[in-house]
Amino acid sequence: MQKRVFSREFKLDLIRQITSGQKRYSEVCREYAIAESILSRWLREYRERGESAFLPKESEKMTREYLERKRAWDRSYYKRHKIKRQAAAAERKYRLYEYLQRIKAQARCKYCDENHPAVLQFHHRDPKEKEFDVSTFVYHQKGGLKKLEAEIAKCDILCANCHLKHHYDNDQRRLRGLVESVIDQIEEAEQMSIPTEEEEIAHTVYNNYIPESSDYLTEALSDEMEP
């Protein structure tokens, strides 16, 4: 089968019909018997290069004029499709929100059996495994449903009251452990810094606090030598 060759004008005409909303993507594919992968490639090139699309790339230099033209086209494309993207984002957010509400509607607090969805929260059993906060996932849209499901699997469901109590108790224990550890380190350092009697005598002699022939030094050394 002979490979079909499409002129630049033909490609531009089809892409303009799609971007202007005159025809749908699937409609163009059926009408002209063009594979979706080919049309998608044309559309991507048009978005990247604007009206200079489908020209030999060797003849196109990355001049300031070209970059300005490309940025202008990108801004225009963003404005034309802004509402559509916002609507799609809102729809994704709503689907994730509904998913969380369905889970809460069938759940109870692990500690007190509270079951009102408004007060139920997701508590990570092991903080080290936590990748993100489930409650803010929907608002910030950090990923898709599978990512959310994987994070929920790491959690227990607690009511807000029990959740706060749990963290309060853990924080108190952790703080006490930290303080006790610091105190132990200080006491250990103080014990290590107390000099022995031999070290005190040597330090005194070295700094000429008392003469080497004094009775105090002789007495102290004789005490050290006695069994």
Grouping H, G, I as helix, E, B as strand and the rest as coil, residue 35 is coil
Q: Is the pTM of this model over 0.85?
A: no
Class of domain 1-55: mainly alpha
Grouping H, G, I as helix, E, B as strand and the rest as coil, residue 157 is strand
CA-CA-CA-CA torsion for 18, 22, 24, 29, nearest 10 degrees?
A: -70
DSSP assignment of 37-50 equals HHHHHHHHHHHHHG
* pLDDT for 190: 67
Range list of H helices, 155-196: 160-193
- pLDDT per residue as tens digits for the range 56-81: 765 455 667 777 877 888 888 878 88
- pLDDT per residue as tens digits for the range 1-48: 567 788 888 888 888 888 887 888 788 888 888 888 888 888 888 888
- The pLDDT confidence band at residue 204, using thresholds 50, 70 and 90, is low
Mean pLDDT of 163-167: 87
**For the chain, what is the radius of gyration of the CA atoms?**
38
- How many residues appear in the chain? 227
Distance CA 12, CA 29 (A): 15
The domain limits of the chain are 1-55, 97-161, 195-225
* pLDDT for 216: 52
* Angle between the N-to-C axes of helices 197-206 and 215-225, in degrees from 0 to 180, rounded to the nearest 10: 150
* Longest Cα–Cα distance in the chain: 118
Closest by Cα among 90, 104, 82 to 139:
90
What lies within 8 Å, CB to CB, of 111 at 6+ separation is 158, 159, 162, 166
